[in-house]
Chain A
Amino acid sequence: MLELKKGMTVHLTDGGTAVVEKELGRGGQGIVYAVKTDSGMMALKWYTDRPDDRFYDNLAENIKNGAPSDVFLWPLHITRKEYGSFGYIMKLRPEGYYEFTGFLRAKYRFESYHAITVAAMEICEGFKALHAQGLSYQDLNDGNFFIEPKTGHVLIVDNDNVFPHGEKSGIKGKMRYMAPEVVTGQNPNAHSDKFSLAVILFLLFCGNHPFEGARVASCPCMEEDAERRFYGSEILFICDPDDSSNRPVRGVHPNVIRHWPNLPGILRRTFITEFGKDRLLNPTRRLTELQWQSVIMAVRDNLVICPHCGEETYIDGASGCRCMNCRHSFDIPSILQIEKRSLALTKGNLLYIDRDEVPDVEVIQDKSDKSMLLLKNISGTKWSVDTPSGRTKIVSPGEVMPVKKGLIVTFGSFNKKGTIL
């Protein structure tokens, strides 16, 4: 009997205790309970499949080293081995966060496209930090993320299979998320994590699976040999430019059919490369999380407010500056060029100078002259602006400046210069 009951006390190796209050959920490896601890209510994951000592020691090591970043709901304490098994303590999932699986089932919806970019950025941030510590996640799938639909903030859960890159956790992963080389027999590692990450990003932006198109849909019975083919030896991206045999099917994969043409070119090109034969077959060539973050930043730069309907739309999609919501075409009157980035200056748009999800600039309309756009400083630091005639102006937080060609803005603490074109 490995299940715990209400009122039972488990002992933590650091001297604390946890008293079981109620069951919160159960999965293949174990059961999660709400427990009362010295530092308040927490969650206890209790293993029912009795992992071995190596697993226990690795978990203890991960706890000692701490979470790679704030996006992880990381194990905080490990229990002694008792009642025939063991478990670990983590924080309870905060209110308002929902499993990504629920988004894929359309039970929950992102409240904006911006929230999707935030989620994508935070997921990359988490795995970048994890891989930077020489660790690999090894079982990345749709059940590992809790997301807040309004803001896109992410929590990464199930961090107990995290092992140093190259070491086996004993978990191979979940079909549909496993890298093709893992499907065909290799062990998961940081490179296969990057494949699974790309699948998750595709699901976030497109709402359908990147390898499930006509070929997969026409298979009446998905048995194990077929799975090994479709997700392993014969894996084929649904938007592969050279092979159209696995295209999304009308009526079956409506989300990707709708979203794909709207996505900024840089994101479409990145998916095509990342899910192309070369990267599928050569795991070490896959994009790093930092490279993904640059792509997602460009996507965010291409997400603007439509001047006609006031809704979000991507620009640089297949149809250029045509609103994906109201279908009106519009011009981008001015842009702010920061190094290679071109930020569109349209009314209502928010600009992000650095990588975080806090906007720094708001593009507004001059109340007295509606044809004049203004940049409002909503960052925490002063900007200095050089005019073409050589004067320097200061724009403090809360103040505005006109959108005029030739102005060069130095964004104080970010050490970035932007030119209005």
Chain B
Amino acid sequence: MPVFNEPMPRRTMVLFFLVDASSSMEGGKIGAVNDAIRNVLPMVNDISVNNNDAEIRVAVLKFSSGVEWVYSEPKLASDFEWLDIQAAGLTDMGEACRELSRKLSRSAFMKSEGGFFAPAVILLSDGHPTDDFAAGLNSLKRNKWFMKGIRVAIAIGNDADKDALAQFCLDKEGVFDVHDIESLRKVIRLVALTTSQIGSTSATTADTTKQGQVIAAVKQGIENNKPSSVEEGKLEPAEPKKDNWTDWD
């Protein structure tokens, strides 16, 4: 007779995307964000289904003039039907911090019998906050879930407020710059997959923290994705680092 067992219990890891949907993101940038997240969700689902350590759920908060959750609770990637985010309005990043803090609570998003791993938060923005970012971030910094979590930001283009993003990550190494649509797509994918795998990946002796492990892996991934000697004996120089939004639309 087969040995019938129940699946082992797993903790949940919530992957938060905080997406800047201000008017400057309009066109190609928000299009690339929509496309990248839509495409990465099935891969996140694969990771979630095939590991015995963490079930991964996804929550998306868009911020522009005000903030709004795409779904009212974290959802399994397989249940997350991605509806395109439209860009318009200001950059209420401070309010986004406050709203994230409100939901990072056992009375809000962080309730589950099986318990959680510390969350991973990915902030994407191309501009400067237009509200009181410092006050919002201060309230978020009092939230233990946030402080124990993994925090990574993607700075889209030269106008992104990298200082603000570095303050959000509490670590300027956690901010990754992208300067063209292809890199934006790739870095979203890389950051989402790396953070999703963190609960089921072996640590190296060099890793001090999971945040450090994620940052190192994303850097390595970006390095690997650079054009180089792909074909034998042929070395293509890397593209110079400049914004290239003109051909987006």
Binding site for B on A (CB under 8 A): 1-3, 9, 27-28, 48-50, 82-84, 99, 101-106, 109-113, 115-116, 139, 141-143, 168, 170-176, 187, 203, 207-209, 212, 217, 219-225, 252-255, 311-312, 325
Contacts and interface: CB of A to CB of B under 8 A. Distances in A.
A222 B150 CA distance: 13
Contacts of B246: none
B148 interface: yes
Interface of B: 1-9, 11, 50-53, 106, 110, 113-118, 144-145, 148-149, 197, 200-207, 209-210, 217, 220-221, 224-230, 232
- Interface residues of B, dominant DSSP: loop
Contacts of A2: 224
Contacts of A252: 9, 113-114
A255 B5 contact: yes
B51 A221 contact: no
A172 B204 contact: yes
B238 to A, nearest CB: 10
B217 to A, nearest CB: 7
B205 A172 contact: yes
Given A28-B217, A143-B200, A325-B1, 13 more contacts: A1-B227, A27-B201, A28-B201, A83-B229, A83-B232, A99-B50, A111-B2, A170-B204, A171-B203, A175-B53, A222-B116, A224-B118, A311-B1
Nearest to A2: B224
Contacts of A115: 3
Nearest to A251: B113
A84 B201 CA distance: 23
Contacts of A112: 1-3
Contacts of A142: 52
A102 B115 CA distance: 21
A311 B220 CA distance: 53
Contacts, number: 135
Contacts of A219: 115
B224 A174 contact: no
Given A1-B227, A28-B202, A207-B6, A221 B115 contact: yes
A110 B4 CA distance: 8
A174 B116 contact: no
A253 B5 CA distance: 10
11 contacts: A1-B227, A48-B224, A82-B232, A83-B229, A109-B3, A111-B3, A115-B3, A170-B205, A208-B8, A212-B9, A221-B115
Given A1-B224, A48-B224, A222 B232 contact: no
